[in-house]
Chains A and B, each alone.
Chain A
Amino acid sequence: MRFLARRLGFYIVTAWIAVTLNFFIPRLMPGNPVELVFSRIRHSISPAALHAFTIAFGIDTRESLIGQYFGYLDQLFHGNLGISITYFPATVSSVIRASLLWTVGLLGVVTVLSFSIGTLLGVVAANRRGTWVDSLLPVSTFLSAVPYFWLGLVVLTVFGVDLHWFPLSMGYSSSLTPGFTWSFIASVLDHAILPAVTIIVSSVAGWLLGMRNVMMATLGEDYVLLAEAKGLSRMRVTFTYAARNAILPNMAGFALSLGFIVSGALLTEVVFSYPGIGYVLFEAVSNEDYPLMQGIFLIIVIMVLLANLGADAMYAALDPRTREAG
């Protein structure tokens, strides 16, 4: 368990670095554009919100930098991310809360699917090396260089605009009220398929190539050779011996890949006008809504760190060597 404790410690440090970056970015930027925003809203918000705003962005305040910093941390600990300009006077937290579930739901399912499919295909590709399967590799390379959002545009044009198979935008049909009804859930799934397919197709190639590379190296290991010498079935040699070990470096690379997938997914949401965090971020950028932008940045970091912690727990479950010190 020391392994997980150490990872947790690292994620806390990472979260602190992200928070600190968030605090200093507005202060380090030349010609702070938040001042314009500030002058627009200063007379229409409560004194408490005004105070929070001034210490978060370092505008029009006499408090020392240290004081501002701790004031800002204090606000964060109380879940106060400030006031959104786009959805004025709604708070940033409430805007994020409304959109977060969409993103987490979509991305959670899609990431697990993409990882599983890609890893499995990687195992197959490594096992069938030297056959026609190898010719799929240039295709995977090309796919992994395709921007998610562009693939989204193409998919949307073909299956939405031309074929009318799937809806063009939103998370569910606007004629329905959200609730636990079959028609609503069906509508949600219907709306999620194209964004999901886009993210899966774009990200699966990365997992595939990664797993294939590690798997090829693992198949040359003595323990795989020995498993073969034991006369074990091909399935057991492939999965219990080779894949079980090859998946470990791939899981360790999860942290890095997740950042890419999240970034790609945010843009994909914009293409599909999907009501998640990515679309809200897009709106925040268009409206120069700095509190919302920064709030979303923090939330995304926290989500990614939590996902990483989950991946670490999986890793620890799969690799007995992490269960001891070290």
Chain B
Amino acid sequence: MTSGGLPAASTLAVAEPHHLATADHGAPEPLLEIRGLSVDYGDGQGAVHAVDRVDLVIRRGEALGLAGESGSGKSTLAHAITRLLRPPAHVTGGEVLFYPRRSGEVVDAVDVLQLTKAQLRRYRWEHVAVVFQSAMNALNPVVDIRSQLTDALRAHRPDMKKADRYAKAEELLDLVGVSVDRLRSYPHQLSGGMRQRVMIAMALALEPDLIVMDEPTTALDVVTQRQILEKIEDLRRELSFAYLFITHDLSLLLDIANAVAIMYAGRVVEIGSSQRLYEHAAHPYSQGLLQSFPPLSGPRRTLSGIPGFPPDLRALPSGCPFNPRCAHAMDICRVEYPPSTLLVEPGSTRHVVTCWRYASGHSEPPLVKADDG
């Protein structure tokens, strides 16, 4: 994989990946590192902080999950790292560092947010592809599948011959398990599952390093959802891309992702390996989310859900924004935003939570045992 003409941003201070943001240690090298990223909707007094000082690292070949309720900022985050935000949304701070690999060597990172328009066009799809939630809305209704599968090739590989592009389109459809004679079909002629497979095929066209998937299976029925998820996982093993999988369905993430980050009111409140979160979700919100969905596999749990409503970002409560819904809320939770705490670091697994219950000097809940993991 080439870096596609990206400039090496040697001027950018490239430090070690932020220690609290990483889920794994000594694991593959970082691919995309989000540092202190903030996104506002609107300006001045009425501005809404949809994403607030988020740190996150996606490693090469990793399946990272991002979970949260609607309005938690997870889709905004996805749009911010692909620079697809539309006014009134805009980035107010932070960096999105991309670590290109040139002939196997890691070279200097570039800040995606600083790329010029031309650089950005080259960076897009070549390195980071996107799969949107509703394939019906994300496919151009008046253009056939083949043209939509190949136009990224046309834009990024100007030397490629037409016949080769078409051959590649066939190969891609085959890869995701859609019959090749669908190439000349239009989106409305395909079923929902097929459309989503086409979306994934499209994302694979340039063999990107990372695919951002914004609720790719939410609109599908459970059986189709299952098939698509398995397909994605197979393809990841085969083609070794990383993906960021965004959904409100935490139990689904625990099933498919290596690591999971939980967002609430624009902040990442907990991050850890799927295994660790499944067994010992620490944040009261994560625990609530887990109990809102039946697990796709494994033993059944009683569903309880989270009381109350998602927060109104225009009028967040002071302190920890989750405090009005939290069964464990303490006085300090209503006053000050909690610090992040590294819960456990046995071997290669990190588990970080942003909650007063785990902050040093405050009572350690009995739920977490440090030797677990």
Does B associate with A?
A: yes
In the complex, A143 Cα to B139 Cα: how many Å? 37
A164 at the interface (CB under 8 A from B): no
The reply to whether A222 and B137 form a contact with Cβ atoms under 8 Å apart is yes
B143's partner among A229, A230, A240 (CB-CB below 8 A) is A240
The reply to whether B140 and A227 form a contact with Cβ atoms under 8 Å apart is yes
The reply to whether A229 and B129 form a contact with Cβ atoms under 8 Å apart is yes
Chain B's interface size range is 20 to 34
A228 at the interface (CB under 8 A from B): yes
Q: Which residues of B contact A321 (CB under 8 A)?
A: 141-142, 186, 188
B156 at the interface (CB under 8 A from A): yes
Task: Identify the stretch in A7-15, A169-177, A231-239 within 8 Å (CB) of chain B at 4 or more residues.
Answer: A231-239
Q: Which residues of A contact B144 (CB under 8 A)?
A: 320
A298-326 at interface with B (beta carbon < 8 Å):
318-321, 324
Q: Which residues of B contact A227 (CB under 8 A)?
A: 140, 151
Using known A-B contacts A226-B130, A321-B188, determine if residue A232 contacts B152 with beta carbons closer than 8 Å.
Answer: yes
The reply to whether A226 and B121 form a contact with Cβ atoms under 8 Å apart is no
Counting chain B CB atoms within 10 Å of each CB, the highest count among A230, A244, A245, A324 belongs to A230
B155 at the interface (CB under 8 A from A): yes
B122 at the interface (CB under 8 A from A): yes
In the complex, A228 Cα to B123 Cα: how many Å? 12
Total inter-chain residue pairs, C-beta < 8 Å: 80
In the complex, A223 Cα to B139 Cα: how many Å? 5
A225's partner among B84, B122, B125, B202 (CB-CB below 8 A) is B84
The reply to whether A228 and B137 form a contact with Cβ atoms under 8 Å apart is no
A47 at the interface (CB under 8 A from B): no
Chain B residue nearest to A320 (CB atoms) is B186
Q: Which residues of B contact A179 (CB under 8 A)?
A: none
The reply to whether B138 and A226 form a contact with Cβ atoms under 8 Å apart is yes
Q: Which residues of A contact B188 (CB under 8 A)?
A: 320-321
B120 at the interface (CB under 8 A from A): yes
Interface bits A236-260 vs B (CB < 8 Å: 1, else 0): 1000110011001000000000000
The reply to whether A230 and B140 form a contact with Cβ atoms under 8 Å apart is no
The reply to whether A222 and B121 form a contact with Cβ atoms under 8 Å apart is no
The reply to whether B82 and A229 form a contact with Cβ atoms under 8 Å apart is yes
A63 at the interface (CB under 8 A from B): no
The reply to whether A230 and B141 form a contact with Cβ atoms under 8 Å apart is no
B318 to chain A, nearest CB (A): 34
Interface bits B121-139 vs A (CB < 8 Å: 1, else 0): 1111110011010100111
B121's partner among A221, A231, A240, A241 (CB-CB below 8 A) is A231
Interface bits A196-233 vs B (CB < 8 Å: 1, else 0): 00000000000000000000000011110111111111
The reply to whether B138 and A223 form a contact with Cβ atoms under 8 Å apart is yes
A228's partner among B84, B122, B139 (CB-CB below 8 A) is B84
The reply to whether A223 and B84 form a contact with Cβ atoms under 8 Å apart is no
The reply to whether B140 and A236 form a contact with Cβ atoms under 8 Å apart is no
Chain B residue nearest to A232 (CB atoms) is B155
B135 to chain A, nearest CB (A): 9
In the complex, A244 Cα to B147 Cα: how many Å? 14
Interface size on A, residues (CB 8 A): 25
In the complex, A236 Cα to B141 Cα: how many Å? 15
In the complex, A227 Cα to B125 Cα: how many Å? 10
The reply to whether B140 and A223 form a contact with Cβ atoms under 8 Å apart is yes
B142's partner among A220, A230, A319 (CB-CB below 8 A) is A319
In the complex, A102 Cα to B129 Cα: how many Å? 56
The reply to whether A232 and B132 form a contact with Cβ atoms under 8 Å apart is no
The reply to whether B156 and A231 form a contact with Cβ atoms under 8 Å apart is yes
B86 at the interface (CB under 8 A from A): yes
In the complex, A307 Cα to B189 Cα: how many Å? 30
The reply to whether A230 and B152 form a contact with Cβ atoms under 8 Å apart is yes
B27 to chain A, nearest CB (A): 27
Using known A-B contacts A226-B130, A230-B125, A320-B186, determine if residue A245 contacts B84 with beta carbons closer than 8 Å.
Answer: no
The reply to whether B155 and A231 form a contact with Cβ atoms under 8 Å apart is yes
In the complex, A229 Cα to B205 Cα: how many Å? 13
Chain A residue nearest to B120 (CB atoms) is A231
Q: Which residues of A contact B122 (CB under 8 A)?
A: 231
Chain A residue nearest to B212 (CB atoms) is A229
B104-128 at interface with A (beta carbon < 8 Å):
120-126
B contact residues vs A (CB 8 Å cutoff)? 82, 84, 86-87, 120-126, 129-130, 132, 134, 137-144, 151-152, 155-156, 186, 188-189, 202
- What would 30 A/B residue contacts be, using CB atoms closer than 8 Å? A223-B137, A223-B139, A225-B86, A226-B132, A226-B138, A228-B84, A229-B124, A229-B125, A229-B130, A230-B151, A230-B202, A231-B124, A231-B125, A231-B155, A231-B156, A232-B121, A232-B151, A233-B121, A240-B140, A240-B143, A244-B142, A244-B143, A248-B142, A319-B142, A320-B141, A320-B142, A321-B141, A321-B142, A321-B188, A324-B189
A contact residues vs B (CB 8 Å cutoff)? 130, 220-223, 225-233, 236, 240-241, 244-245, 248, 318-321, 324
* Interface contacts beyond A222-B132, A229-B130, A321-B188: sample of 5 additional A-B pairs, CB < 8 Å, sorted by A: A225-B86, A227-B151, A230-B152, A231-B124, A233-B155
